[in-house]
Structure formats: C-alpha cells, structure tokens
Amino acid sequence: MYRWASFVVLVLTIVVIGVLFFRILSGFFVPLFLAAILAVVFHPLHGRLVDRMKGRRALGALLTTAIVAMVIVIPSVLIVTLAILEGVALIAHGDMDRVPNRLRELRAEFGFALPFEEEVRAADAALQGIMRSIREREVVSRRAIETASNSLRDLAHELQGTDYDALIPLLVEARSELRKAERADAREDAEVFLIDANREYQNFRNELSGGPIWRAAVDLLNPTEEVRREWISRLLSAAQTYLVPVGGAAAMFTLQSLFGLVIMLLSVYFFFYDGPSMIETVMKLSPLDDRYEQELIRDFANISRAVVIATLLSAAVQGALAGLGFQLAGVGSVFLLSLLTFLFAMVPFFGAATVWVPVAIWLYFVNERPWAALSIAIYGGLIVSNADNVVKLLVLHGQSRLHPLLALISVLGGVRALGPIGILVGPMIVVCLQSLLNILHRELTSLDYKRT
C-alpha cells in the first residue's frame, strides 16, 4: 500500500513538473523544432565531416552549424531584407495614383461604368437616408426631402439631350412624390409618398444600369467611398489575423526573431554534438518499447527530410523561376514578388498562382502591357506552378505523401494554430500521427493473434 501511494505521488509530481517544464519550453518551441529539423536534414553532412576530422565531434558540430548558417540563415535574411526594402520603395514611390483612373477607363471599356456617377451618388445617399429614417421610425425632416428633391432635379437636368433622355419621366414622378410628402400634414401620408418616390427612383436606377442584374454588377464594380473603406478594413483585419504583426511591434518582433535565431543555431550545434546521447536518454526514460521508439525516430527522420526538403526546395524553385519570369517581363520589385511566391508556394492548391496571377492581371489592366501579361500567365501556368509536381516527385519518390485535401487542411490548420511555422509543422504532425496509428494497429493485431 505504501509503495502504491509513493508511486501515485511520484506520478503526480512528474505531471506537475512536466507541465511547468512545458510552459518553460513553450516559448522556444519554434527555434527548437527548426533546429531539430535542420539537424536531421544535415545529419549526413555532419557525419562525413566528423569522419574526416577523425571523430572530433565538437569541431564537426561547429563546422556543420556554420555551414547551416551560411547556406540557409544568411541568404534568407538577405532576401527578406531586400524584399522589405523593395516593399518600402514600392509604397513610397509606387505609381498608385493612376490606378483609380485606369480602373475607371476599364469600367467604361467593358460597359460597367455608372453613368452620371456624381449625381447618382448624391441621389442615392439622399433617398437612402430618407428610407433609413422611415425604417427606424424617425421623423423625416423637410430638409432631407428638399435635398433629395434637388438631387433628382440635378440628375434630370444632366439626362437632358443624352441617350438616357427617356428615363426623365421616372425622375419627374419620383420628385413629384417627394413634393407631395413635403406638403402632407399626416406622418403616415408623408411616408406613403416617400416610399412611392423611392420606388420610382429605384425603377429609374434599374433602367439606367440596364436591368436589376446588371445594376448589381455595376454597383459592385463602382463601390462608394464608404464601401471601399469597409473592404479595406476587412482586408486589414484578415491580414492581422493570418499574418505576422509587424506594425507597432516591429522592433519587438525583430528582437524576438534574432533571439530565436541564436537559440536555433545553438540548439543545432548541441544536436549535432550530443544528439545520439540525447536520443538514448529519452529512450531510456520513455515507457514505450525500444523497437517502437526506434521506429518513431526513424520515421521522424525520414518524414522530416521528405516533407521539409520537398516543401522548401519546391517553394524555392518556384520562387526562383517566378523571379526570373518577372525580371524578363520587366516587372518591378522582383525580390519582393519572389519571396511572396516562395511563401505562397508552400500552401497546397493555391501555390505560386496566388502571386503570378495578380501580376499578370496588373500588367494587363493597369500597365496596359497585354503581351507581358500573357507571357507571365503562360509561363506561370506551365513552368512555375508545374515545377511543384516535378520537384516533389523527385524528392519524395515513393515516400509517404499526404492526400491533397488533407495536406491543405494540415497547412492551414498549422498556420492558424502555430503561425507561419505551421506550414511545416502541420503536415509533419499529420504524418507522425499516421505512423503512430500504424504502430497501434500492428500492436492490436499482434494481441489478437496471441489470444487466438
């Protein structure tokens, strides 16, 4: 009885200390995980270096860590820095003033322009304000009715002598109903006249745009300033949810990144130097059978190399190919666009097309360079996006591959739970779970066989 009580106390103590230990290490999860991945990927190189140095592990670990820094860390920091500088220059000196004018030209070219936009917007706002007051059971002021009446008068004046001359009677009828409402003594009578006026005006708006369906498309492509601000607000809100916050916390983010980089490189060194001893210690403390532990370690190494090398190499190839295409097409901010291609290429389904498709659209509609846009579209669809399949096929060649739907969910879920590092962690967790389930299935099958 005493031994059982002692055992229970020991287990509870281990759980409590384990929770505290997890909370201590939770802030270093990302650099430690990246260090483990790098140690696995560069383990063959480390083994060859140690052999050439006649077993001097410390020197071999130091040289391998230096190679990791030179091959991955330094180029990544350089590319990100150049991309940030190009982004700042694009914002500061970008030719964004001509975009609204170009969009206006395109709407007119494709028949989505809103005729007499200024006058129509004024009439829309006046009538919408009146109807809002009626819905909220507020008294409509004579000033509001007068404003709406004047807006309809100005709009009717603009229509005279144009192709829309036949629509003037609708505006005249709407304005007549407004004047009846202004002269009405009872509130109920005034509201009836105001509703009739709004109905006549909406009929006019439908006829002006070519019908209710076409009007919906025209209104969508000609948003008001209020709607544009709402769209921008939603876009910024989504960006704050899914992207790394670098606004007011830019300095803190930079310091945390540098600190994490130092921790990662130190961890890489110690994983190279003392990795086998660490693994042996964990295996001794683990309650799992040794053969299962060895299988998990072997699967983790294989999965790490397969997933990380395939994902990063494929994204790097697509980023380089896209950057080459952007450079040849005369697109500015090549480093920025290449970095964005590299990042989005790691997301299944969407991939590099998330970048080259908007670039092609920009070249065609804004820069008015149809041949450059067509070239980027063909090059992106045939070369850049298909490079993903070629590289992953060469790297994985028979190793475990996730179903595309499961891969997409694991990436998006990993990013949502862990941030950008979830692009790599999500698929690895899913594949590791698959390995554990296979081990469990074999164990259960073995138990059933022994019973029979």
For position 284, what pLDDT does the model report?
A: 72
| pTM over 0.75, yes/no | no
pLDDT band at 77; cut points 50, 70, 90: confident
Q: Do 202 and 316 fall within a single domain?
A: no
Total domains present in the chain: 2
pLDDT per position as a tens digit, 411-429 = 777 777 766 667 777 777 7
DSSP 81-107: HHHHHHHHHHHHH---THHHHHHHHHH
Residue 450, pLDDT above cutoff 70: no
Measure CA of the first residue to CA of the last residue in the chain; give whole Å.
Answer: 36
Q: Do 302 and 198 fall within a single domain?
A: no
Q: Do 306 and 173 fall within a single domain?
A: no
Q: Distances from the Cα of 99 to the Cαs of 211, 238, 277, 362, in angstroms?
A: 28, 23, 61, 10
Q: Which of 181, 204, 221 is the last residue of a domain?
A: 221
pLDDT band at 245; cut points 50, 70, 90: very low
pLDDT per position as a tens digit, 22-60 = 777 767 777 887 788 788 778 888 888 888 887 788 888
How is residue 34 written in tokens? 């990246």
Inter-residue contact 265 to 73 (CB < 8 Å): yes
| Residue 391 belongs to some domain of the structure | yes
Q: Do 353 and 430 fall within a single domain?
A: yes
Residue 250, pLDDT above cutoff 50: no
Closest C-alpha to 337, from 361, 349, 313, 321:
321
Q: Do 214 and 308 fall within a single domain?
A: no
| Residue 107 belongs to some domain of the structure | no
- Gap between the Cα atoms of 38 and 312, Å rounded: 12
How is residue 73 written in tokens? 């860390």
| 137-143 own/partner pairs: CB under 8 Å, 24+ apart | 139/187, 140/181, 140/190, 140/191, 140/194, 142/182
Q: Do 312 and 437 fall within a single domain?
A: yes
Mean pLDDT of 150-157: 89
Q: Distances from the Cα of 241 to the Cαs of 103, 412, 418, in angstroms?
A: 29, 13, 12
- How high does pLDDT run on average in the chain? 77
For position 235, what pLDDT does the model report?
A: 64
CA angle in degrees (0–180, nearest 5) for 82-88-93: 120
Domain that holds residue 208: 117-221
Q: Which of 221, 255, 278 is the last residue of a domain?
A: 221
| Residue 364 belongs to some domain of the structure | yes
| Residue 10 belongs to some domain of the structure | no
Q: Do 210 and 317 fall within a single domain?
A: no
Q: Do 214 and 295 fall within a single domain?
A: no
Q: Do 195 and 295 fall within a single domain?
A: no
Q: Do 146 and 294 fall within a single domain?
A: no
| Residue 108 belongs to some domain of the structure | no
Q: Which of 174, 199, 221 is the last residue of a domain?
A: 221
For position 359, what pLDDT does the model report?
A: 87
| Residue 63 belongs to some domain of the structure | no
pLDDT per position as a tens digit, 321-353 = 988 988 888 887 787 788 888 878 877 667 788
pLDDT per position as a tens digit, 357-374 = 888 888 877 777 888 888
Residue 153, pLDDT above cutoff 50: yes
H or E element that contains 430: helix 422-451
| Residue 353 belongs to some domain of the structure | yes
| Residue 188 belongs to some domain of the structure | yes
Residue 204, pLDDT above cutoff 80: yes
How is residue 135 written in tokens? 């819905």
Residue with tokens 């961890």: 267
